[in-house]
Structure 1
Amino acid sequence: MDPLIAATHADPYPYYAQLRAEGGLTFHPGLNLWLASSARAVAAVLAHPDCHVRPALEPVPKAIAGSLAGEVFGRLMRMNEGERQRCPRSVIEPGLQLFDPLEVEALVAARLIAPGAEGLQAAMFLGPVCVVAALLGFSPAQGRIISELTADFVACLSPLSTATQREAANAAAEQLGGYFMELLDDQMPRTALLSGICQRFAKASTDPQTLTANLIGLLSQTFEATAGLIGNSVLALKQQPALHRESIDIDDLLAEVQRFDPPVQNTRRFVSTSCEIEGVRLNAGDTVLVLLTSANRDPQLNDDPDRFLLERPNRRSFTFGAGHHQCPGQKLALSIASATVARILAVNPVLDTLKWNYRPSLNGRIPNFTE
């Protein structure tokens, strides 16, 4: 076991506990990186100004540098620091807090969800992107195409992507850019979300390409993270039949799943300047693998952390990040996931017959279901 394999291991949590016991911030010589495994270390790394989201000498991964997908990547607020992060975030984030949950429920309900594994997969991966696309003003037909293009684009963001996937991602980036340019050029009528974004954009010192890139980024963030949250919630219901009852509070279920078995297991930070964190000296150029899910299971963060408790008091989690790079769409993601899980349960799926494995990933824990 190593911390990269752990993300898709059947049960990585004893391994994470072992890492915490060895120290909150330790060096892994085999992977040549530091591991932040305790709640204290994870919080300290995420908050430290010298721990950046990309290495200074490689702002865009080499595999996609110079490509259309790489151009989008290089403008994403979540992959930048300073003004290149703050400015697009100030344009997009406020609207993600002001959506109408009833509208989200209606958009989810408008999509037919089949009870089998194929229907579940579509509800997990395509449905959430269709909801965000609709909130931005795309038609249902456009939303279906955009969700498929987003799936193609997201594939290039993984270090495990193939040349074929990267080529498809470039084509998807071009097409998604075209869809957003048309949407932004169309003055009327605009949805509340898009109208607010456009008003803030008009006052911001950002360029149209950065806005378009971050709208694509909003879709790509929705695609995998929300799919994993929905899928892992279904797994919790499958593995703990006592939870599968009519009176279950879906919001409580999601809140505990995102702490207990989250879709994002780790993230990385790159040391820009030599610094000291938790008594450990880090050098410029060092990489820190931030084990978010290990911190979630730290007894210093949550009491009795290895128990799945729907009504957990004072629940705390690093799944959506922390600090200035904390996920701005957490509230919307949870709302979409809640409405989707409720609709999945409404079609009364036979969970006992579902089989699954995890999508290949170095940081995500996202199930693929089959029958």
Structure 2
Amino acid sequence: MNAVLTPSVVHHERPIVSAAFLTDPYPAYRALREAGPIHWSEEFFGGAWLLSRHADVEAVLRDPRFSAQRTGGWVNDVAQERGELAGFQKLFARALLFLDGGDHARLRAVMQPAFRPDALARLRPGIERIATELLQGLEQEASFDFIEKVARPLPVRVISRILGIEGADRDEVMAWSDDLAVFIGAPDPTREQARKAQSSLLAMTRYLQDQLATRRKSAGDDLLSALLRAADGGDLRGEAELLAQCAMLLFAGHETTRNLLGNGIQALLSHPQQWQLLRQHPNRVPNAVRELLRFDSPVQYTGRRVVTDLTLHGQRLCRGDLVIALIGAANRDPARHVQPDTLDIQRADPGALSFGSGAHVCLGAALARLEAEVVLRRLLTLHPNLLFASTVPQWGSNPAYRGLVMLPVRSGQ
């Protein structure tokens, strides 16, 4: 991609994503916002426009001139030979995340009932039981890794219950999802990352095919059965589209929630006065979760393709150009939030773009918030004096899906 850059555009020759960025991306975001409204960087998929201000990011997420249907070039650009990743592309491109317009609305309508308030209310007791089971007894340990003990296993158990596959090998599911996250979150994925993602996606779909075969003999009230009924009724078109939605739900159902839990606890323990305030006022947990999402989003950016030539901040964007909407930067924009770098669980309007906006707002946003609320409430009850066991968090290497690899904590006295 060869962009024509006007003098008003900053052309970034140095990498934005670095070891320092992975530890703390917010200084880099601040510099981008202050330098100008639009930037060009060849670091993302060979060339992309970067938007870091809240108004611009939200507008792009809502504007149909910016399309989520970008996977064809994304996958094929990293393939060594034509057709090398055909199996991956066939499934990947049919997932709800990467569809627009009528197809997106059709698939969303099929899955939406499983995430409505009444459905989530029925799920809450089960989520509370899982959280209690994971957290009980940990106070007897000198320290424990919150990511390993809680943040990783809880979301995969919850989405497995929703789908009706509670007997799944959770370690295997998480490994498949990790490979997909590495590919999706890489600024410029390698062929090896794409191949691993394809291998894991195909392994995931083989497992799901076996599960669907069981549902065909004896359907239940789980989401897999609902998707199968939708396929039989014509609302899902073909086996590939059915499998793509099942795989997307299994992946997306725990990847971001895991990071929300880890990032949230890391933020609260780094601001002990906020943790103490939450202990004193547990009724503020729902607002606290929204503020934690804003403060350190589990999804830092997403991409869109320009559908038709347009002008943005005086710069000509051409059809097919890639735009990176920096969600993490938008959530810290002082034009939208007062003192954006301050964690404040009492913030009057902590609205964040962490789950997107517009037609593509995350289907499971309310479920992720519910899981975080349940975990916070159980921690306040079972581990009210929670402290760091190590002051140095270990952040992952995925710039899009920001999360901790390890978070050692202990129950204080």
Q: TM-score range by the shorter chain?
A: 0.7 to 0.9
Residue 4 of structure 1 contacts residue 362 of structure 1 at CA under 8 Å; is this kept in 2?
A: yes
C-alpha distance in structure 2 between counterparts of 1:273 and 1:80, whole Å: 17
Q: Which amino acid aligns with 1:51?
A: F
C-alpha distance in structure 1 between counterparts of 2:236 and 2:199, whole Å: 32
Residue 57 of structure 2 contacts residue 325 of structure 2 at CA under 8 Å; is this kept in 1?
A: yes
Q: Quote how far apart the aligned CAs of 1:34 are.
A: 1.2
Report Cα offsets for 1:153-204 as digits up to 9, x if no partner: 544434456457346414533433324423532434323x556555555362
1:106 pairs, out of 126, 129, 133, with: 129
Counterparts of 1:199-238 in structure 2, within 5 Å, are 200-201=230-231, 202=233, 204-238=235-269
Larger CA deviation: 55-64 vs 221-230 = 55-64
Number of the residue aligned with 1:33: 48
Larger CA deviation: 231-240 vs 241-250 = 241-250
Are residue 71 (structure 1) and residue 71 (structure 2) matched? no
Are residue 44 (structure 1) and residue 44 (structure 2) matched? no
Cα distance change on mapping 1:342 and 1:186 into 2, 3 Å: farther
Report Cα offsets for 1:4-61 as digits up to 9, x if no partner: 4489433322322222122222333666321111112112222222211244852645
SS at match of 2:184: coil
1:185 pairs, out of 202, 216, 228, with: 216
Counterparts of 1:1-371 in structure 2, within 5 Å, are 2-5=15-18, 8-28=21-41, 32-55=47-70, 58=73, 60-63=75-78, 66-97=85-116, 98-100=119-121, 101-111=124-134, 114=138, 116-118=143-145, 120-140=147-167, 146-159=173-186, 160=189, 162=192, 165-166=196-197, 168-191=199-222, 193=223, 197=227, 200-201=230-231, 202=233, 204-245=235-276, 246-247=279-280, 248=282, 249-344=284-379, 346-347=382-383, 350-353=387-390, 355-369=392-406
Residue 8 of structure 1 contacts residue 365 of structure 1 at CA under 8 Å; is this kept in 2?
A: no
SS at match of 1:269: strand
Q: Quote how far apart the aligned CAs of 1:228 are.
A: 0.9
Cα distance change on mapping 1:61 and 1:220 into 2, 3 Å: farther
Larger CA deviation: 131-140 vs 152-161 = 152-161
C-alpha distance in structure 1 between counterparts of 2:88 and 2:15, whole Å: 30
TM-score using structure 2 length: 0.78
SS at match of 1:264: coil
C-alpha distance in structure 2 between counterparts of 1:230 and 1:198, whole Å: 31
SS at match of 1:45: helix
Aligned-residue CA RMSD in angstroms? 3.0
Largest Rg, 1 or 2: 2
Q: Which amino acid aligns with 2:91?
A: V
* Deviating 4+ runs (over 6 angstroms): none
Q: Which amino acid aligns with 1:330?
A: A
C-alpha distance in structure 2 between counterparts of 1:154 and 1:62, whole Å: 18
Q: Quote how far apart the aligned CAs of 1:205 are.
A: 5.0
Residue 227 of structure 2 contacts residue 242 of structure 2 at CA under 8 Å; is this kept in 1?
A: no
What are the ranges of 5 or more consecutive residues in structure 2 without an aligned counterpart?
Answer: 1-13, 409-413
Q: Quote how far apart the aligned CAs of 1:330 are.
A: 0.3
* Matched residues, number: 370
Residue 135 of structure 2 contacts residue 379 of structure 2 at CA under 8 Å; is this kept in 1?
A: no
C-alpha distance in structure 1 between counterparts of 2:43 and 2:164, whole Å: 48
Residue 149 of structure 1 contacts residue 176 of structure 1 at CA under 8 Å; is this kept in 2?
A: no
Larger CA deviation: 242-251 vs 162-171 = 162-171
Residue 228 of structure 1 contacts residue 263 of structure 1 at CA under 8 Å; is this kept in 2?
A: yes
What are the ranges of 5 or more consecutive residues in structure 1 without an aligned counterpart?
Answer: none
Q: Percent identity?
A: 24
C-alpha distance in structure 1 between counterparts of 2:20 and 2:369, whole Å: 21
Cα distance change on mapping 1:19 and 1:139 into 2, 3 Å: closer
